[in-house]
């Protein structure tokens, strides 16, 4: 650990740093690095602490493949330009030792990409600065709760294989929201049924403020496509949206 931290400190022009699956590497501490902009940390054993003070750090990607533990304790409060956060893990991180949620470690976050491999029973967080949320998870919409008054865009579920592009500063685009409303992009998988859309409706009722809905439906098998007819039987009070975009893609049955 001391050697890696020494190497980083000895490279004042370093802008991007990746560390992937280093045995016995349990903490990452860095202070006062002026040029560091992007960090990727991946680990498969217990990682205890991430402590970074880098004034120009703009994005961090954390990949946790440790099935027995959650996210490490973190201190990044002084990284005021850290607006892009990516977390990939088996589950959504448990609350910190002080009871706060994972996203509270990043007080200036605007873009949050979360990918969980296992289904989570509860994904809950809050952020006053968050504007773009992309979630890849098998968790039901009913298991997702967030408070983000400035949220501009929520995409669910999205393909975690697009992770390679997430460290690009242009992703995800932050729209000019002076004339647009908060948008939800919903991409259900090939299995379509009325229950899935009932859950979507209940999610919209949680007062998340979405006024624009982009719905992408991909129907591969004819029997799944026929499930769309059952949507007519979904009985629920009307929900007011200002704009709806529907993309329907169908494929012949193999």
- Taking the domains of the chain in order of start, what are their residue ranges? 2-173, 181-254
Return the pLDDT at 170.
44
Return the pLDDT at 40.
93
Stretches in the chain below the pLDDT threshold 70:
1, 68-70, 96-99, 158-180, 189-193, 207, 218-236, 250-254
Q: Are strands 132-136 and 111-116 parallel, antiparallel or unpaired?
A: parallel
Cα-based distances in Å from 106 to 11, 130, 150, 199:
25, 10, 15, 30
Per-residue pLDDT tens over the stretch 155-200: 887 655 544 444 444 444 444 444 457 889 888 765 666 778 888 8
Return the pLDDT at 174.
45
| Cα 129 from chain centre | 14
Return the pLDDT at 91.
79
Return the pLDDT at 228.
60
Q: Is the peptide bond before 114 cis (omega within 30 degrees of 0)?
A: no
CB 206 within 8 A of CB 145: yes
Give the pTM: 0.84
Return the pLDDT at 178.
43
């Amino acid at each position: 650990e001391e050697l890696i931290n020494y190497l980083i400190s000895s490279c004042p022009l370093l802008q991007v740093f990746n560390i992937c699956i280093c045995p016995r590497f349990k903490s990452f501490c860095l202070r006062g690095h002026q040029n560091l902009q992007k960090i990727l940390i991946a680990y498969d054993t217990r990682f205890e602490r991430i402590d970074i003070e880098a004034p120009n750090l703009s994005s961090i990607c954390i990949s946790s493949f440790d099935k027995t533990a959650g996210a490490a304790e973190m201190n990044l409060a002084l990284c005021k330009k850290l607006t892009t956060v990516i977390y990939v893990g088996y589950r959504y991180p448990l609350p910190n030792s002080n009871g706060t949620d994972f996203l509270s470690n990043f007080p200036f976050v605007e873009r949050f990409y979360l990918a969980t491999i296992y289904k989570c029973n509860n994904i809950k967080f809050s952020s006053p600065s968050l504007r773009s949320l992309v979630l890849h998870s098998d968790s039901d919409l009913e298991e997702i709760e967030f408070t983000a008054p400035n949220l501009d865009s929520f995409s669910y579920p999205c393909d975690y294989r697009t992770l390679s592009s997430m460290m690009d500063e242009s992703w995800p685009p932050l729209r000019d929201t002076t004339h647009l409303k908060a948008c939800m992009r919903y991409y259900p998988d090939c299995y379509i049924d009325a229950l899935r859309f009932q859950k979507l409706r209940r999610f919209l009722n949680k007062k998340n403020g979405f006024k624009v809905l982009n719905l992408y439906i991909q129907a591969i098998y004819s029997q799944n496509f026929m499930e769309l007819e059952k949507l007519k039987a979904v009985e629920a009070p009307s929900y007011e949206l200002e704009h709806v975009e529907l993309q329907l893609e169908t494929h012949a049955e193999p």
